[in-house]
Amino acid sequence: MKNLLALNWKMNKTPSEARSWAAELSERFEAGNAELVVMAPFVTISALAANLPAGVGLGAQDVSAHESGAYTGETSAAMLADLGVGYVVVGHSERREYHGETDAEVAAKAKLVQANGLVPIVCVGEKLDVREKGQQVASTLAQLSGSLEGVGADVVVAYEPVWAIGTGKTATAVAAEELAAAIRSALETRYGKKASDIRILYGGSVKPDNIASICAKPNVNGALVGGASLKVPDVLGMNEALKDI
């Protein structure tokens, strides 16, 4: 299974900056064993679509839970599909924390993403206090169950311990594998044999110097990368690190 490197820019880069980033990447990018996709802000998607090098895909960071209608400021899955988006992040911890998104809303978004021929990247993960109580597995699996209600097997799951996002702290490869293995088992219960084809990503302060050790674990199939996705040298470093995995 090919590793997926999902580059989550969050609220960074203007369209002109996105074009410059894509041009710099195009000069040095060589396709490897990983699949790269840029999870871009809505306003940069068109700029990237016209400038990304071959072999690098396009994604979005969120989507509306509604098909269409009077929802000012929202962006539908159909709109994203028309722009050439292939993947959509749903349920990122920042959306859950700052916008109050529930598991049910995440599942609704994921279903609409699939209905429009796109692949949802469903994010789950525990906060620090949960881990300190030793409840990280139970908490993450409960979140996963609610977020996949009615969602088909054509999905990517991103495990992102909230305490490791943007903090510089990274779960050890062993800790990442513990949760990835538990998620895989839950996916097998839900989807049967199809679960073996579902990629499980790790997210949380991933960098060129730690991505290989994490993705070498049997149930980790790539990474959801935040800060390190903004600089082309870091992206190239991570892509290179995954070549032999």
Looking at residues 192-217, what average pLDDT do you find?
95
Residue labelled with tokens 């495990």: 159
User: What is the spatial distance between Cα 228 and Cα 47, in angstroms, rounded to a whole number?
Assistant: 21
Whether 25 contacts 229, CB under 8 Å: no
Helix (H, G, I), strand (E, B) or coil at 224: strand
pLDDT digits (tens, 9 = 90+) for 92-150: 999 999 999 999 999 999 999 999 999 999 999 999 889 889 999 999 999 999 999 99
Beta carbons within 10 angstroms of residue 167's beta carbon: 12
How many helices (H) and strands (E) would you count in the chain? Answer: 10, 8
pLDDT at position 179 is 96
Q: What is the SS3 assignment for 145-172? A: HHHCCCCCCCCEEEECCHHHCCCCCCCC
pLDDT digits (tens, 9 = 90+) for 13-69: 999 999 999 999 999 998 887 999 999 999 999 999 999 999 999 999 999 999 999
pLDDT at 165 over 90: no
* Residue 92 bears catalytic tag: yes
96-100: Cβ within 8 A, 24+ apart: 97/162
Which structure tokens are listed for 217? 């674990």
CATH code: domain 3-241 is: 3.20.20.70
Looking at residues 204-209, what average pLDDT do you find?
92
Whether 44 contacts 77, CB under 8 Å: no
User: On the CB side of 242, how many CA atoms lie within 13 Å of its CA?
Assistant: 30
The catalytically annotated residue of 94, 126, 160, 177 is 160
Global pTM reads: 0.96
pLDDT at 166 over 80: no
Which structure tokens are listed for 111? 């279903």
Which structure tokens are listed for 179? 């949760």
The catalytically annotated residue of 92, 94, 105, 126 is 92
- For 31, phi then psi, to 5°, come to -60, 140
